[in-house]
Structure 1
């Protein structure tokens, strides 16, 4: 049993979230329908084609390896700072400070990118109903609604997320089972062998991993909501494993049926021949069900993006709150709302930042998807990969100092996951221009450099705290619960 440290009156809303709520708050960041309709056609086309289901199987195993150490440490450290708290307790306050600002940079950029994607997708979807508004109007509405939910109590956001994510799963599974019932393309498509290792390396395995890994981003949220969860020592481990398995199994099953529904031999030709590859899932929906299901899927794609926006907004607000509470950011960030017990200052600041970024991109006439989403969102992916590598090292260091836990879950599996994440971080950083279409200009190195720059700033902020208040520095990432 852990020893919990009591904190002052500025607490998050305790005992607000059960297992289902925490799990769906995690999955909402993964945005299942966005992954299926938006990322998977590109993963097929630019990655390894029919090797995508096997890629998901392998990544699910990697994420479970990461989770082994993550869960082991969650029984000792319950803190809304999550990756930050683990780094602080495992590697020391300076590393914790670095990860804290890295997280704020990563999740804000991911949020900003998704705001552009939501605007662009919404303009297309609602344009089909004769509602023709500029893309930035939809982005503006989303920012306002997300800000309201983030300002209020967390259980309200959780209820909205459970409904939206549940509908996402439902519409995709309707299409999945329609393909399954029809036997796939021409009734013979279900013979696709998803365990064919030759398919794994048939194209760009690295690109496939990056697209598929995006579907797991957000599993950190199980510990981000630790201070607000019911019985966190049980809820957090269960929600972590449950969310990984739900995401992994869902995408293995769905990508297999997307291949089967198109025909393995026609997959790349079909997707490559589309003016917009992201139309692939909607074509399958209309082919195997009816136009109404395809239309509903389009509307739910908008709600899927909204759910992801809300999830990342909550992450940012809580990281800001913890950074303020621990002395890295101004004290105001460490206060909670008197009535809602929400990290309202971080929520408001994030909303203002989103409005500024939206104004810049809309004012310059840049494309919401090709520019705002593609350029910025991969910064977030890079940051999360880097934080997962550091967290794996933190787990090894933490248990190395304090003992306990099995060698498999506290040393071997974290080492494997950490090495894989570190290698991916280096690859994405070096090839950022090719992955985002910013090759040939300063953006190809300026954008990814924001992550290590954030780490340096966080490290310096921690050093300043160490000099001004050594006792507070020593408490960084402290375990907090009822």
Structure 2
């Protein structure tokens, strides 16, 4: 029996709508999905050089650790909610339980926009990177959009099939990613031209430059960490697994990225690292590995190949997240209920997977026909849009945690988890969201008067408003459906 946000009981959904009832995924499997969404090699090749070159801040390693602390604070309340709400639509369900059903639908629409934008944006980068790699090695020119279509078909097939198949694929891809970046880090520390300095770990270095933009860049590297709760219906012992996986993922991502940023700074030379990053951009990792005595061109070739697999892993992770949101909303009648029916054989959210695949094909086709650049337009526009939406969802969820436990003082949850940690994370996330919004033109690489800096953020507001309006309509026209919003598995 579920409990709605007024404390009244609501019926649980039929068992036929449950995903993968044998619960195949453990802590390790969920960590694979979470870390894959963050794409470690993609961050090393693109995110870290961008952070250094655009902002001029040498203390990027420390900022990775500080953002990790903020997200660890967020995870305290998030994990507390996951022990009581095990629905696949995490942000949607938590917001509905804490701030009300109408707000929950608004959060769901923002989540669908944000995750789809991230997934399709990464697809653009995959197409461009893969096309360049093939051309450089074989001389064969393949259109970037054709490669995206092929990749989308593969990802869609994996999303359609059993979830543990996706876990196995991600496990292999992530081991290749981590191994590549680890070898790179060791090589840069060993061959640092001026030795290894602790300056990048100091507060002065972290605040000497465009701090607002740097925080946004660093925060984007964590995208996907919050997706652990999306798999709560498919994991063993969800009330413990989700919390453990979230904490492990945040710690692993934070430390790994901080060390890698420090290694890149050391390899480039602390005094000129920001200049090298500005000049080399996404080629910085390969530039440094080529000139490193212990690595060389062969390593760079493998790193470029594994960068492609890194993007494939991120695509699979975000695809799975979207499919589970669609399934959760379909199950509760917010979207057509047919979307909430799992596959009779695989137990997967196959209809949500098919819908996301079709959407990716459509959007990529529109960009390709318009002659837009896959990196400067598809990747930059859509991933920044998605990141902004996720930051807003994290902020909303922090407020929802506080409201949820404020009405349930009888629940045995420490004050730290129910109030202090979500309050601290909420304040920090509000600051990051404001900085992201006011520096959005820098993130997009456009002038301050370019209308894109407002058009894209307005899409988030439109999605939220549409969700709220739809929730209000459901309350009036379909009260039975409205009564079950976000409370299918609340405890």
TM range (shorter): over 0.9
Q: 2:78 aligned to 50, 62, 70, which one?
A: 70
| 1:404-443 aligned within 5 A | 404=411, 405-439=413-447, 440-443=449-452
Measure how far apart 1:442 and its partner are: 3.2
The runs of 5 or more residues in structure 2 that have no matched partner are 4-10
1:393-433, Cα deviation, whole Å (9 max, x unpaired) = 00000000012322222111111111222232233234423
Give the equivalent residue in structure 2 for 1:267: 273
Deviation at 1:180, TM superposition (A): 2.7
Residue of structure 1 equivalent to 2:225 = 219
RMSD over aligned Cα atoms: 1.9
The 2-side partners of 1:155 and 1:481 are apart by: 25
Aligned 8 A contact 1:52 1:200 in 2: yes
1:481 CA displacement: 9.5
The 1:400–1:315 alpha-carbon spacing in structure 2 relative to 1, beyond 3 Å, is same
Q: Which residue is equivalent to 2:212?
A: 206
**Residues 169-248 of structure 1 correspond to what in structure 2 (within 5 A)?**
169-182=178-191, 184-185=192-193, 188-248=194-254
Is residue 2:393 matched to residue 1:387?
Answer: yes
Contact 2:200 2:206 (C-alpha < 8 Å) held by counterparts = no
User: Deviation string for 1:183-237 (max 9, x for gaps)?
Assistant: x22xx42123333211111111111111111121112211000000111111111
Q: 2:148 aligns with which of 135, 139, 145?
A: 139
Cα deviation, residue 24, structure 1: 0.6
> Following TM superposition, by how much is the alpha carbon of 1:6 offset from its aligned partner in structure 2, in angstroms?
5.5
C-alpha change, 1:243 and 1:211, in structure 2 (3 Å) is: same
Using the size of structure 2 for normalisation, the TM-score is 0.94
1:51 deviation in Å?
0.7
Q: Secondary structure at the match of 2:346?
A: coil
Q: CA deviation at 1:471?
A: 3.7
- Residue equivalent to 1:50: 58
In 1, are the aligned partners of 2:96 and 2:485 still within 8 Å (CA)?
Answer: yes
Corresponding residue to 1:9 among 2, 5, 16:
16
Distance 1:167 1:101 in 2: 35
Question: Is 1:282 paired with 2:275?
Answer: no
Alpha-carbon contact 2:58-2:200 (below 8 Å) kept? yes
**1:119 maps to which residue?**
127
- Would the alpha carbon gap of residues 273 and 217 (structure 1) be closer, same or farther in structure 2, given more than 3 Å must change? closer
Does structure 2 retain, via aligned residues, the 8 Å contact 1:327–1:465? no
Deviations 1:120-152 (A, max 9, x none): 111111211123211112111111111111111
Residue 305 of structure 1 corresponds to which residue in structure 2?
Answer: 311
Q: Which residue of 1 aligns with 2:38?
A: 30
In the alignment, which of 401, 404, 408 is matched to residue 398 of structure 1?
404
Deviation at 1:266, TM superposition (A): 1.4
| Match of residue 167, structure 1, among 176, 186, 190 | 176
Among residues 284, 294, 301, which one is paired with 2:300 in the alignment?
294
Structure 1: gaps (5+ residues): none
Distance 2:382 2:184 in 1: 31
**What's 1:453 paired with?**
462
1:93 aligns with 2:91: no
Partner of 2:474: 465
Determine if contact 2:74/2:425 at 8 Å carries over to the other structure: yes
- Aligned partners of 1:359, 1:6: CA distance in 2, in Å? 38
Structure 2 Cα separation of the partners of residues 31 and 212 of structure 1: 13
Q: Check whether the contact 2:53–2:276 (CA below 8 A) recurs between aligned residues.
A: no
SS at match of 2:15: coil
Shift of 1:479: 5.1
SS of 1:203's equivalent in the other structure is coil
Query: Which residue matches 1:83?
Result: 91
Counterpart contact for 2:87–2:230, Cα < 8 Å: yes
Confirm whether residue 368 of structure 1 aligns to residue 406 of structure 2: no
Distance in 1 between the 2:354 and 2:256 partners? 34
